[in-house]
Structure 1
């Protein structure tokens, strides 16, 4: 990937929430639909800020100055997305049926997540951002836009999706690096070690994050997707792409990738899945339905022949082709 050109694109494609025409009128909705959409945008504002926290952490960790600058623009993107989402929530809150707040599971998850990512290894932090971006961009945002189906939503989502496309391209680029031999050597050469106190704090933060992850994912991603995309095709496609990315290398180098494979294999096993599937799905945060294998052998073989950039391009193309 040409990082210099990517940085140029990041800087060129900046926009302001005020660039959108807020004088439009939202389309008429039923009471149920209006409440659901306003809540979705309210939660989306919080989700975007969590993404910004992850990109801020990635900016802190990377050494390449061009990558640092790219991640800095991503933080700015996510703050803007959070602002846009809150304004969209206000825009569609026509009848003021209730007072909207971010879902309790989101506000419970957020502090544990922010604490945990400070201690997580580089590849784990990147895995979470890839997962979040794929679910948000390929599944949730498209489905919300199709459900709302008016000019205001389309205009906002076009700009947000343009930003998210850059994010996903870099996410895959970093996934390739974190799974490489070069990164393994860098980790082996790294002299800085966490103290026992820091390790304990990190372990506590990670456990708390895992405990709060399942209700957060259910309330903010899975249940809303059942509302705006009842067939769940886009959500399954997002999970399939995450799983294929984790299975791209036949022998994973990083412990977290091996851990996720163990969870998935356990859910898929006829005995373990029946006895422990619910527990394994909860540990994975997404439930056994989505922790289970979403791809077939032909897709896995094809992906292993592809480059990471080709995989990223295919994921981006899915935003326009997934039904």
Structure 2
């Protein structure tokens, strides 16, 4: 038994999960993903480093968004939706996954893509390959992207479509359930190899994955902490959104939230969302050359940079067991 989590944590968690037994799920994700020891990098940093390889969930090129879409698509089809609407940047991982799930379900999909660059490469190219229609919004204001999606939805409704509009990142309580289960998957694998982490690092931009992990922690009794790594310059808003999603997701499980502290670090944002920093570039090369793992510029390279910096500064104690949630995003690397 680890001092970080009790042997009966599954029983404790299941007492809450029974409250969503009737929840629909269309599992296109290939689970359980690998739980990989990154000894060459861990030895270099003086820590016991592992990666949860959710870049290998397979559906639509994989990544953390598939765990969310397994539940979001099910909810959409329950509502008899004929048209999915997803919002994100031109190189959005979530939009790519939404398009792939819509293709499998045989329903229409429109991607509302923000930002100045329209490169038919990476996620953008894949979204079109999956059959999605793309609508573009100039500028980098996320609120304007969401507003454009809402206006599009009104037009589609007026033309008789039954729409299912998802916010950026698929960050809703329904989507976050995917990472409540994902957290328990990590704990079962870590417990099985006898190396339960004291810290789990995850990149965060809209808070849905982070919230799901927090709820998983809450219902399991794990004594470590989730270290969110902000990838956009919106830490205070992100903190509010993450805590709200955590509370709402707990509500679905009929659990009163019991999260004392939200760990969210914005020291690795660099010049902004989607812009690599020198530290994230170094971390990207470190993981590629030591372990053959590809990290994307937007999310995972910045989360990895945080681990490197925290290990070197002593924030992570020497010898501590640390897990990086690899959230995918590899198509962005060659965009």
**Is TM-score (shorter-chain normalized) higher than 0.5?**
no
Question: Larger helix proportion, structure 1 or 2?
Answer: 1
Question: Larger strand proportion, structure 1 or 2?
Answer: 2
TM-score by length of 2: 0.31
